[in-house]
Each structure stands twice: as C-alpha cells, then as structure tokens.
Amino acid sequence: MKGSDRQGAVLVVVLLVLAAAVVLMLECGKYLRIDYAGAAYQRTMVAGGALLRSGLDVAVQELLEDLKRNGDNADHGFDNWAGIQERFKEFSESLQSGDLTGGVTPEDGRISLNALYGQEGGSEALQGVFVRLLESLCRRHGIQADPEEYLTSIKVWLGASDTKRDKAWYAMQDPPYALPGKSFQTPRELLLVRWRGADVEDRRTLYFGTEDIPGLREFITVWGAGLINVNVARPEVLAALPPDSRFRNEFVRTVMNYRSKGENLLSGQWCANIATRLGLDMEKFPSSALSARSTVFRVDLTAEVGAGRLSSTIVVRRDSKRCVVLFENIH
C-alpha cells in the first residue's frame, strides 16, 4: 500500500472514531437530560405533594373550627372557609420556595345525582329541579333530547325498574357494559347513561359544556347529602327551583341579593320565605329539597414548586370531630 493510501485509511478511521465519539456524547447527554428531568419531576412530586397535604390540613382545620364557632345552623359565603385563599397566601409567604393556592366550596350547593332515586321526602322535588336545570342547559346548547328521558335512565342506573329495556341497550354498546343498579361513584359516570334521542356528542356537550356555556358537571355531585344548600348554590341551580318560569329571573335576583348581605339571616327556611313573598305556588315549590347547611366540601388545591405544578381535588365529609376524605384526584 502506498503511503498516501495508508494516510487516507488512517484519516477515515480517525473520522469514524470521532463520529462514534460524538454520537456517544450526544446519547449520554440525552440520558443525562432525561435523568435530570426525571429528578426534577420527582422533586416536584415530593415537594408539591407535601404542599397539597399541608393545604388539606389547613382546610380541614378551618372547616372544623367553623363548625365549632358557628354550629351547624348554616354554611354560607361569609364563613371563614370561604376566604381560605388568604390563609394559603400567608402559608405560602412562610415558605422558602413553593406556592399554594386554592379554595373550599360546599358540595351541597350542587344537585346530588344519587338522591334522584330512592330517597324519601325530597327525592321527587329534587327530580323537578334537575329536569328544569337540564331543560335550561339543553336549550342553551341546542340539544333536542327530552330531559325527562334522561332522568328516567338515571333512576334505572340507580336501581329503579328497567321499564324501557336500558339493560339491553348497554349490552349492545361497543364495548358492552352492565347496568349497575347502584349509586354513581363519580359524576363522570353520567356520560355512560343512556339518553334516548341524544347521541354521544350530545351527552358530552351537555356534560362538559363549551367555552361560553357551562356544562352539567358544574352543577352536580355524587357526594352531597341530597339537599341543595341555597346559601351557596349557583344562579343556574337557583333558577331551576321555581316550577313556574315566570318567576325565575325575579326569584334568582332576590335570592342572590338577600344572601349577599351578611346581616341577613341565612339559616332556616329563608329561601322559602322569599318564594312565598314573591307569590310562588308553595305546593309545587321544592322546599323539601332545600337546606342552608353543608356536610360535604370540595377542596381544590394547586402547589407550584419551581417550574413544576401539581393540583388536587379532594372531597371531604365533615362531622363534629373530623373530616373524612371521600374522593381525591391529583393531577
């Protein structure tokens, strides 16, 4: 082999070695970045999880202290738990790193799906409120299906007699699933319930809502005690209370104005008293489905550590001595 050929071969070998070294360095760098990102994620999970647990402890303490101070006559927006954001702000300022935000809302301001069947007393009244809320949301979303049909299938899902062969419909779905005949475990199970005259997209639109129009998920619960706390219910739920649509706007306006003033009595049957004063038919008004108290609360928390963020939704039931966690979702 000539000297020039040997030099060329050596050069090729050197270039191949250098290329291999570059590839190896790049691969090592990639794995180092992956390891670093994984470590950063783990740090966020650990530190963020600790912050979320601390936030829940603060919320539980506030809920129990509120019950001790004020008793269980009423729960409303003037209770200290309603302003817990300030507690979280003070807590965050005491930390060297990290930030905690969130809020507490009574779950009983929503309509309980599990109370739509089988509950004595207020079940029928609650069904009327639910159907009127559905009618309003269907109208706003342009959905033509009958809300009464949806209510019927919900009651069958909960254990009522299957008069319209819902069980067979569930068995024919792809994939098929069984009719449980028992309580909802999460609100999202409502997407599985048959609704004659509505397709999958109708059910999803009604449940999730759109950017401009709220969805049903914002007004329902599976953890509430069954009675609607009128002190904290949203206007859409309040508007579904009067059976006569002629009174709804005035009723909502009067109720919202009354409960916005801390000096007003927000316990007992104050909402029914307003309905009477406005001239509503009290034989049809759903008084038996209403309350001014809450036993179940939703705690929404967000912990930020560095560039990472961790959030949680926790539902707790409060009694005289403790708060029991009914549901927890970290995301």
Q: What is the model's pLDDT at position 31? A: 44
Q: Say yes or no: 17 and 160 in one domain.
A: no
Decide: 323 and 317 in contact? Cβ < 8 Å: yes
Q: What is the model's pLDDT at position 44? A: 55
Q: Say yes or no: 30 and 155 in one domain.
A: no
Q: What is the model's pLDDT at position 70? A: 86
Q: Tally Cβ neighbours within 10 Å of residue 270.
A: 19
Q: Say yes or no: 136 and 181 in one domain.
A: yes
Q: Say yes or no: 15 and 160 in one domain.
A: no
| Domain carrying residue 321 | 3-108+295-330
Q: Say yes or no: 241 and 125 in one domain.
A: yes
Decide: 158 and 183 in contact? Cβ < 8 Å: yes
Q: Say yes or no: 172 and 214 in one domain.
A: yes
Residue 112, beta-bridge partner list: 221
Residue 102, beta-bridge partner list: 301
Q: Say yes or no: 300 and 283 in one domain.
A: no
Q: What is the model's pLDDT at position 121? A: 61
For residue 19, what is the enclosing H or E element? helix 3-70
pLDDT 10s digit of each residue in the chain, 331 long? 555 565 555 555 555 555 555 555 555 554 444 444 444 445 555 567 888 898 899 999 999 999 999 888 899 999 999 999 988 888 777 766 778 899 999 999 999 999 999 756 678 999 999 999 999 999 999 999 999 999 999 999 999 999 999 999 999 999 999 999 999 999 999 999 999 999 999 999 999 999 999 999 999 999 988 999 999 999 999 999 999 999 999 999 999 999 999 899 999 999 999 999 999 999 999 999 999 999 999 999 998 887 788 899 999 999 988 999 999 998 8
Q: What is the model's pLDDT at position 309? A: 83
Handedness of CA 287, 288, 291, 296 (dihedral sign): negative
- Strands (E) located in the chain: 99-106, 111-112, 220-221, 228-229, 290-291, 296-305, 308-318, 323-330
Decide: 150 and 111 in contact? Cβ < 8 Å: no
Write down the pTM of the prediction: 0.83
Q: Say yes or no: 144 and 247 in one domain.
A: yes
Q: At what angle do helices 147-158 and 123-141 cross, to 10 degrees?
A: 130
Decide: 262 and 80 in contact? Cβ < 8 Å: no
Q: Say yes or no: 130 and 276 in one domain.
A: yes
DSSP-derived 3-state class of residue 100: strand
**DSSP characters over 286-301:** -GGGEES--SEEEEEE
Q: Say yes or no: 46 and 162 in one domain.
A: no
Angle, CA of 294, 328 and 91, to the nearest 5°: 80
CATH of the domain at 64: 3.30.1300.30
Q: What is the model's pLDDT at position 34? A: 44
Q: What is the model's pLDDT at position 179? A: 93
Q: Specify the long-range contacts of residues 120-125, CB closer than 8 Å, at least 24 apart.
A: 121/288, 122/226, 122/227, 122/286, 122/288, 122/289, 125/286, 125/287, 125/288, 125/289
Angle, CA of 133, 195 and 183, to the nearest 5°: 75
Q: Which residues contact 234 (CB under 8 A, 6 or more apart)?
A: 109, 218, 219
- Strands (E) located in 179-322: 220-221, 228-229, 290-291, 296-305, 308-318
Instruction: Give the number of domains in the chain.
Output: 2
Q: Say yes or no: 141 and 270 in one domain.
A: yes
